[in-house]
Amino acid sequence: MQLHGKNYSVSALRKRVGNMDQLGGIQLVTLDDGNERPVRAAIIRTGGGLEVTVLPDRGMDIASAYHNGRAMGWRSTTGSVAPQYYEAEGFRWLRSYFGGLMTTCGLTRVGGPGPDSAFQGQGLHGRISNTPARNLQVSQAWEGNDYVMRITGTMRETSVFGENLTLTRTVSAILGASSFQIHDVVANEGFKQTGLMLLYHCNIGWPAVDAGSRIIAPSALVAARDAEARDGLERWHLMDAPTHNYREKCYYHDMRADRRGRVTVAMVNDGFPQNGFGVYVSYFKKELPRFVQWKQMGEQDYVCGFEPTICTVEGREREEELGLLNQLKAGERREFHLEFGAITEAETVKTLERNAGAVKTAYVDGFEAFEKAR
């Protein structure tokens, strides 16, 4: 395997270290300050410059990721708020939205809060990101010539007389890598069919996002969600400098998959010192057929969201009205696979550009118009 620019055999590496944590591994810690206390965290270091923080008490979401000290994701002002401070009503989800490289939205609601939010807690983007994991398992071992690090945990979203859904997540990485993988299994462990909504809120921040940074994506069609986003549609892929009182813009994308069925979306800052810097997200379109872009160029709220999803972001009631709500039968399971990585080489950018192809934009508002334009 390659480590620090040189190839080593398994035997050669083992002879050079007394403990594998000298090279990389998973370290379990507890955050112990302010409203983060007492959140469990798992810090994965690959030895290839990548460090990823997973929060088992926050839905196994990715609180942060760094490559050679450069942040890949955006961190909000809230910090990694412990789940006991979660406020489920209305838009109060934002009180504990740490951003991070990935926040999970769902499992029974994505988008705006429901009309009964104050009573049932059917708030913005659902509950799963504020649900602690159980049955935590950590594995660090040689598998052939790869030293593989994994952490797995299961979150349960359930209620008496209501749904009984589980999300079992495995976050894994290989020693020496500049990327990591997520494998999710959503299961309906109840005895009745349940509506399922799931969106991966992948939040790319500075230094990948900066004035002049650009998105490279295999978008066959891009459409504005509303009039606010339509004003600037021609610049959907270009990032601005932090802008006072910026109003967020959302765009729907119809993505083209490659021959493997994968979609890869990247944010690239060509102007970053030396070779530039970027971040990519890759997923299977069959598993996550829809994609939403969140462009927020505000001061401190300076982020671009890549959001592969099975649903829209219009809210559950609208999803049901359009007849689009996914249903998970009793006992049914669905799997989802994502990969995140750093981009540090110009050749990688050229390959992404070749694979992206031409983009068509549609001056339409809303999801229904977007569907007709596809």
CATH of the domain at 23: 2.70.98.10
**Tokens, residue 260:** 């493997």
Q: Can you say whether residue 119 is alpha, beta or left, with left for phi > 0 and alpha for psi between -120 and 50 degrees?
A: alpha
**Domain that residue 195 falls in:** 2-373
Confidence of residue 151 (pLDDT cuts 50, 70, 90): very high
Summarize the confidence of residues 198-213 as an average pLDDT: 98
187 has a pLDDT exceeding 60: yes
For the cut 90, the answer to whether the pLDDT of residue 364 exceeds it is: no
Whether residue 271 is predicted with pLDDT greater than 80 in this model: the reply is: yes
51 or 322, which is more confident?
51
Provide mean pLDDT across the span 184-203. 98
Q: What is the pLDDT of residue 176?
A: 97
What residues contact residue 215 under an 8 Å CB cut-off, 6+ apart?
Answer: 236, 237, 238, 265, 266, 267, 268, 293, 304
Tokens of 115: 């009309």
Q: Which pLDDT tens digit goes with each residue over 33-65?
A: 999 999 999 999 999 999 999 999 999 999 999
Count of domains observed in the chain: 1
Condensed to tens digits (0 to 9), the pLDDT of residues 249-269 reads 999 999 999 999 999 999 999
What average pLDDT score do residues 127-152 get?
A: 97
Provide the token pair at 288.
């996550």
Buried b (16+ CB within 10 A) or exposed e, 35-67: ebeebbbbebbbbbbbbbbbbbbbbbbbbbbbb
- Beta-ladder partners of 269: 277
Q: For residue 249, what pLDDT is reported?
A: 96
What are the pLDDT digits (tens) for 106-129?
Answer: 999 999 998 875 556 689 999 999
> pLDDT value at position 120?
60
Q: What are the structure tokens assigned to 123, written together?
A: 């708030």
**pLDDT above 70 coverage of the chain, percent:** 98
pLDDT of residue 363: 73
Looking at residue 358, what is its pLDDT?
87
